[in-house]
Structure 1
Amino acid sequence: MGMFDRVLVANRGEIAVRVIRTLKRLGIRAIAVYSDADADAPHVALADEAVRIGPAAAAESYLDPARIVRAALETGAQAIHPGYGFLSENAAFGRACAEAGLVFVGPDALALEVMGDKIRAKRHVSESGVPVVPGVSDPDATDESLLAAAPDVGFPLLVKPSAGGGGKGMQVARDADELASALPAARRVARAAFGDDTLLIERFVERPRHIEVQVLADRHGGVIHLGERECSLQRRHQKVVEEAPSPLLDTATRERIGRAACDAARSVDYVGAGTVEFLVSDAAPDEFFFIEMNTRLQVEHPVTELVTGVDLVEQQLRIAAGEPLAIAQVDVRMTGHAIEARVYAESPERGFLPATGEVLAWRPATGEGVRVDAGVRAGQQVTADYDPMIAKVIAHGADRGEALERLDAALADTVLLGVETNIAFLRSLLAHPDVRAGHLDTGLIDRLPAPGSTGAADDPAGAADPADGDEAADGAGDPLSDVARAARERDARAGAASAHAWQRDRGWRIAARPAPDGSGARVARALADADVATDADGTVWVHLDGRTAAFPATDRRTALDARLAMLERGGNADPDLRAPMPGSVTTLLVADGDHVAAGQAVLAIEAMKMEHRVTAAVAGVARLRVAVGDQVARDQVVASVESAASPDGADPAASDHRPRDGAHDAAVANASHEE
C-alpha cells in the first residue's frame, strides 16, 4: 500500500494538534475538521487543510460519521485518524470508512466489537488465559441470579453496567443487603445512560491500582508491548495523573503483565496501537486482573513515548499503511521515568465543576525534560460544548523523583489566564506524601479534603479596591492581591482601552516603576514579574511565582449590599439558586410554585459530560427562572425560594438557616464522548 499522502484527523483539541504534528513530520498532508465552536482553534491553523463539519454540538459534528467520511472524500484523504474519544472506538464508523474506500487508523471491527462490550471482552480474553477478576458476567443474568451468585464471588462486590464507561452506574456492595439495593439502581442508570441495562458483578479489589499496558500489533502477526503505565490517581473514575513505569511492579511482574496484554491483543487479531488495562491490588502487587482493552490511542500515551522513544502515532500510521513492525520486543527499552498531569478547565473549589471563558493569556512551560500537548491559544473561547481537558503537561527525568520535580516546576510555569484550571490542585496532589512515595490507589484523590482557595482573595472586592491606596499594597498582603490592585490602579489612570491594547501588544506582560518617593517598590517589582490580564467584566487575572488568581471587579458598595442581604436572611443560606457552571437545563424536578425543603433538588444542568443537580438552600416556595433546554451562564440565577408560611403558621424558610455544603448535588459523569 505504501505510506499515505493525505490523512484526515477526525478530532479536535490537543490530540488533533498532536496527531497533525506527526503527520507533518512524516511529510503527510494533514486535513483537520472543525465545528463552529472550533473555527479558530489551534488544530485548524496547524493543518494543511480544514473542513467545517457542523455546529458546536458534538452529535452534529465530531460524532457524525457521515460528515466525517464526506469531508475525507471531498479532500482526497486516504485515511482517517480518529484520535481518542468521539468515534475512535465506534465499529460502525470503522465499517463506514472501509465502505468508502478509506483506511481507518485503528483496529478492525472484530476488536472494536469484542472489546467494546465488557462482558464479552472478559470472556474472550479469559479463554486465552488472561487472568480476570472473579465475578459473574452473564448477559442474561437477572437480579435474583446475581444475588444468588454473589457469595461464591465474595464480598465486597462491584456492580458495573456492561455498556458505557466513565464510572457511570458503578456501585460497591459490601453485603447482600447493599447488593439488593445496588442492582436495580445500577440498571436504571445504565438504561438511561447507555440504552442497555445489562449488569455484571465482580469482586471489589481493596486499595486497587490501575495499571495499563501499551501494545502494538501489525497485520503480519507481530505483537509487542511497550511497558506499563500507572494510572491510579483518578477522580470520579477519570484519570488525572499518569506515569511510566509503575512504581509498584517488579521486573518479573512487568514481564508477566506484558505477556498477558499481548495475549489479549492476539485473541482479537488486534491491529494498531491499543491499551490493555489491569487491576492490581496494592496489597498483592504480583497478582493482576484484566479490566478492559481500549482500542485506540490513550490520553496518557506521551509518558510511554518519553520512556521508550517510540512515536505511537507514527507506529499507528505505519501499521495502518500495511507495514510490519520495525520494532521487536527485545528492542523495547524503558529509560528514566515520565509523569503526565491533565490540565482541565474546571474549578476545584466548586467541586471540580467545568469552567468556561476566554483565554486571555497562554504560555506553556518549557525546560529540560518537559513536554506540553495543548490545543489552546490566547483569544480562544473555552466553551461547555466539549471535554474540559485543554492541555497535558508531561515531564521526563532520570528517575521518578526528578520527573516529579520537573513536572511540578512545569505546572508552576504554565500561564493560563481567563479560565479557571486545576493546576494548583495538581501541584498540591503531586506534593502529597503518598504520591511522592508511590503509595497510590484509585481512591486516594477522593479521600483528600476538598480543595480550598488557590490564591483568590476571600474578599476580592476589598483586596482589589484602589481606594485602599498604597498603605495596604505595601503591607503584608498577598502578592497576587497586591498586583491585582496595582494593575487596576494603572488601568484607572491610563483608561481601560489604552491599557488593554498595551497589554495585548506587549504579550500581556506589564512593567511598572516605583513611585519617586519609594512607596510601592515591592508591589512594582512583583507587578514587573507577573503575568496580568483583565477580562471583559473587569476581573483581573494574575500569575506570579507559580500561582494564579482572579480578582473580580466588585466594588465595596456591592459587597456591602450582599452582606447586608445575608444578615437580613438570618444566615448564609441564599434563597437564589445559581447555576454552578455554564450549561444546558436538562430537567426541572419541581414545578413553579411548589413547596421545597432545604436540600431538595430543584433542577439539573448538564455540561462537559457532567450533570449537576441544583438544590434549595432554604425551605419555601420555588420560583423557576428557566425552562428545559435553556442555556445558562455560571452563577446565573436559575430559581429562587420564597419564604412561605406552612399550614401550621410556621415559616419553613426560617426553620433552618444553616448553610448547605455546596450549591448542587455531587456531580455525576455522563457517558464520555471524549476520554
Structure 2
Amino acid sequence: MGTGDAGTEVRSPRPFERVLVANRGEIAVRVIRTLRRLGIRSIAVFSAADADAPHVRLADEAVRIGPASAAESYLDPARIIAAARETGAQAIHPGYGFLSEHAGFAEACRDAGIVFVGPGVDALEVMGDKIRAKRHVEASGVPTVPGVSDPSLDDAALAAAGEAVGFPLLVKPSAGGGGKGMQIARDARELAAALPAARRVALAAFGDDTLLLERLIERPRHIEVQVLADDFGNVIHLGERECSLQRRHQKVIEEAPSPLLDVDTRARIGKAACDAARSVDYRGAGTVEFLVSDAAPDEFFFIEMNTRLQVEHPVTELVTGVDLVEQQLRVAAGQPLALQQAAIELTGHAIEARVYAESPERGFLPSIGELLVWREPSGDGVRVDGGIRSGQQITADYDPMLAKVIAYGADRAEALARLDAALADTVVLGVETNLGFLRRLLADPAVQRGDLDTGLIDRMPEPESDAAPPEVLTATAAYRDDVAIDEARTAGAHAWRTARGWRLGRPAADAGRDATTAALAADVIATDADDAVWLHTTTGIWRVPATGRRAALDARLAMIERGGLADPELRAPMPGTVTAVLVADGDAVLPGDAVIAIEAMKMEHRVTASVAGIVRLAVAVGEQVSRDQSVARVEPQLAASAEVPTSVPASSDAPHEGAVPTAPHQE
C-alpha cells in the first residue's frame, strides 16, 4: 500500500534547500514531514495562539508573524514574505486555506524572488472566479451545469434569468469557496430572499458580492479528480475521490476511488479534468470538482477547480503511492513530472474522516476549550494527519478541524471497518467533537452500500444527547473519590476541586464500588476547569458535568433546545463576531424571526426569536460574543393573535440554526 509520506522514491537533486510553510495545524505538519524526508530545511510561521503548536515544534525554524487573529498573521501576505526573507527561504508552501489560492500573494512571492509552491497567477485568477472559470472550461469542451454567470446582472435581472433556467436553483458567490454564502432557492420568492443574503455574506467574506446561479441537481454525487501538471506541458490525473458526504457544504468523509464510477467513466472524467487544467496552463497539484448525477452516473458537470492541495489528498496518496507534496515541490522547482498516466494505478481503497471540534447535539456548532487529552489511533492501514497536542487551547480563531483519520484496505469493506475501529480508538477529551457522529455515519446502511449523495447527512435524524450509562457514572464517581483522596493527602480535603489533569487506566474504586465495572468503563479520564469529568470508553466519549451553577445553566439550555420551554433571552450559540443586526431595537418579532447573525470558524449563524414580542438588543455589529452570552431579549406580547404562535421550541429551526441553508452539492 502507498503511504503518501514515503510512497515515492527520493531523487536528487533536492528541489529546494529551505522552504517556509505558510500555514498551521495538520497541513503544516504534513508538509513539514515531506520536507524532512527530502532533506529540505523547514521553516514554520506561527501566531501568538500557536507559539507552542506541534507544527512549530516539528519545524527546523519558526517565525512569529503576529497576534491570534488570522487577518493579522496567517492571512497577511507582507508578514509571510518578510518571514521568508528573514530566514532565507527559497520557496513558500501555502498548504490549503489562508493564502493558498490568493493570486496577489503568489504575485508578491514572484516579485520578492521567492517561489510560490502552486500554480501561476493567471491560473489562480481564472479558477478563483467561478463565473470566469465556468466560461473558460466550457470553451475547452468541459461539460458544465446549466445556469447564469453574468456579473453585470443586478438582483432583479439575475432573478429573471434564474427563472428562465428553472427551479430549483443554487445561488453561489463567484469568489471564495467552502460553500460560504451559498443558498438554495426552490421558487421565485425564495430566490428574491436568497440573492441579497448571499451578496451580504460574499461581500463580508470575500470582498466581492458577485453571484452566479446554477441548476440544482437533486441527489447529486460530488466527485473530484486529482491532477498534476508541470511547466513542460505534461498533465496527468491520479483518479477520483468521492466527496458526497457533506454538511453545510463542508466535506465530512471522503474516499478513493468512488464506488460509483466504472472504468470508462473514470477515464472520461479524468480526461475532462486534465483538459480543464491544461486550459489555464496549470502547474502543480490541483483538483477539478464535478457534479455527477446519481441517476445517470455516466454524466458529469464541472463545478470548479481548487488550485491547491485538498484536505482529502491523503486518500489519493494511499491508493496511488504518490506523495503529492513532493510532486508540488518538484514541479515548483522547475522539474518535469517523472510520472506518466499509464503508470498510475489505483490499488485498494482509502477513506478519510475529518475530526472537528464541534457539538453535533448543538447543531454542529464549533466547540472551544482546553484539549485535555489527544491520543492518535494506530493499527494496520491507519494514517493520522494531525496538528494538535494535549494541553493545547482550541480557540474560535481558526477552522474547527482538529485532525484527519484515514484508513486503507484491500477493498472498501476493509477500509470502512478499519476506519471505524480507528475512530473508536481516537481520544479527544476537553472539547466536544464529531467522533460519535462519524461512527454513526459510517454505520449507515446507505454509506455501507456506497449509495451516497450530498444530502444524505441532512436526511439523518438529528443527533441527540445521550445520558451517560451507569458504568460511566460509576467510573466518574470512583475517579472523583480517587482524586479527592490523593489531593487530600497533600493539600487538604477540598483541594481536588481545583485539580486538573488526566490519567490512563482504571479509576481507583473504593470498597463500596464495583471496581471491575469502573475499570472497564474508561481507559482515559480527565477533569476540566469546570470540574466536569471526561471519559474515553468502549462506547464513546462522555462528559459528566459537576453539579452547581454551570450544570444548572446547561440543563436549562438543554431543556430549551428540547422544546420544553421558550426562552425570551436570545443567546449566542457559539463564540464569534456579530456580523449583522437584522432588526431594530423595539421592533416587534414573531417566533422564528432572525434577530442577530454571528460568524465564527468560517460559518454564519442566525439567532432567532423563540417568542413573539418586542426585541431589546444587547449587542451591535462588530462585537465579540461568547457562547451562551445574551445578545437580545424578547419581551413577550401579552395579547398575541390567536393565529400566531407565541413561542416555538428552541430546537425547531433556530435559535441555534445556521443562517446558510445546506446545499446538496458543493464542498
TM-score by length of structure 1 reads: 0.88
Aligned to 2:479: 487
Matched, 1:10 2:9: no
Aligned to 2:518: 524
Aligned to 2:445: 433
Aligned to 1:260: 272
Check conservation: 2:478, 2:507, Cα contact below 8 A.
no
Structure 1 residues 512 and 571: CA distance shift in structure 2, 3 A: closer
- Whole-angstrom distance in 2 between the partners of 1:513 and 1:175: 62
Q: CA deviation at 1:236?
A: 1.2
Check conservation: 1:158, 1:204, Cα contact below 8 A.
yes
- Whole-angstrom distance in 2 between the partners of 1:98 and 1:627: 41
Q: Determine what percentage of the aligned residue pairs are the same residue.
A: 71
Q: What RMSD in Å do the two structures reach over aligned CA positions?
A: 3.1
Matched, 1:666 2:657: yes
Matched, 1:322 2:340: no
Which of these residues, 308, 315, 329, is aligned with residue 320 of structure 2? 308
Matched, 1:62 2:74: yes
Q: How does 1:439-450 map to 2 (within 5 A)?
A: 439-450=451-462
Check conservation: 1:456, 1:551, Cα contact below 8 A.
no
Matched, 1:224 2:236: yes
Matched, 1:416 2:428: yes
More deviation, 326-335/296-305? 326-335
Identify unmatched segments of 5+ residues in structure 2: 1-12, 662-666
- Whole-angstrom distance in 2 between the partners of 1:587 and 1:138: 28
- The one-letter code matched in structure 1 to 2:40 is I
Higher relative contact order at CA 8 Å, sep ≥6: structure 1 or structure 2?
Answer: 2
Aligned to 1:465: none
Deviations 1:293-317 (A, max 9, x none): 1000000000000000000001101
Check conservation: 1:2, 1:322, Cα contact below 8 A.
no
Check conservation: 1:609, 1:669, Cα contact below 8 A.
no
Q: CA deviation at 1:548?
A: 0.4
Structure 1 residues 558 and 275: CA distance shift in structure 2, 3 A: closer
Q: How does 1:47-446 map to 2 (within 5 A)?
A: 47-142=59-154, 146=158, 149-150=161-162, 153-174=165-186, 179=191, 182-183=194-195, 186-446=198-458
Deviations 1:397-426 (A, max 9, x none): 000011000001100000000000001011
More deviation, 375-384/113-122? 113-122
- Whole-angstrom distance in 2 between the partners of 1:220 and 1:659: 61
2:298 alignment partner, SS class: strand
- Whole-angstrom distance in 2 between the partners of 1:560 and 1:440: 39
Check conservation: 2:46, 2:56, Cα contact below 8 A.
yes
Check conservation: 1:571, 1:658, Cα contact below 8 A.
no
2:214 alignment partner, SS class: strand
Matched, 1:616 2:605: no
Q: CA deviation at 1:501?
A: 11
Aligned to 1:534: 527
Aligned to 1:509: 504
Structure 1 residues 346 and 308: CA distance shift in structure 2, 3 A: same
Structure 1 residues 293 and 559: CA distance shift in structure 2, 3 A: closer
- Whole-angstrom distance in 2 between the partners of 1:240 and 1:77: 35
More deviation, 185-194/104-113? 185-194
2:42 alignment partner, SS class: strand
Matched, 1:543 2:536: yes
Aligned to 1:631: 624
Q: CA deviation at 1:593?
A: 6.1
- Whole-angstrom distance in 2 between the partners of 1:248 and 1:481: 44
Q: CA deviation at 1:162?
A: 1.9
Check conservation: 2:570, 2:655, Cα contact below 8 A.
no
Check conservation: 2:224, 2:241, Cα contact below 8 A.
yes
More deviation, 97-106/508-517? 508-517
Deviations 1:551-609 (A, max 9, x none): 11124997499779x99xx9622333332112233444456666654444443332111
Structure 1 residues 149 and 69: CA distance shift in structure 2, 3 A: same
- Whole-angstrom distance in 2 between the partners of 1:561 and 1:9: 41
Q: CA deviation at 1:610?
A: 1.7
Equivalences, count: 641
Check conservation: 2:181, 2:660, Cα contact below 8 A.
no
- Whole-angstrom distance in 1 between the partners of 2:632 and 2:482: 39
Structure 1 residues 486 and 272: CA distance shift in structure 2, 3 A: same
- The one-letter code matched in structure 2 to 1:101 is G
Aligned to 2:8: none
- Whole-angstrom distance in 2 between the partners of 1:152 and 1:415: 52
2:462 alignment partner, SS class: coil
Aligned to 1:606: 599
- Whole-angstrom distance in 2 between the partners of 1:27 and 1:94: 25
Structure 1 residues 554 and 353: CA distance shift in structure 2, 3 A: same
Structure 1 residues 490 and 622: CA distance shift in structure 2, 3 A: farther
Aligned to 1:473: none
Aligned to 1:583: 576
- Whole-angstrom distance in 2 between the partners of 1:627 and 1:183: 24
Q: CA deviation at 1:184?
A: 5.2
Check conservation: 1:227, 1:258, Cα contact below 8 A.
yes
1:113 alignment partner, SS class: helix
Structure 1 residues 622 and 287: CA distance shift in structure 2, 3 A: closer
Check conservation: 2:545, 2:551, Cα contact below 8 A.
no
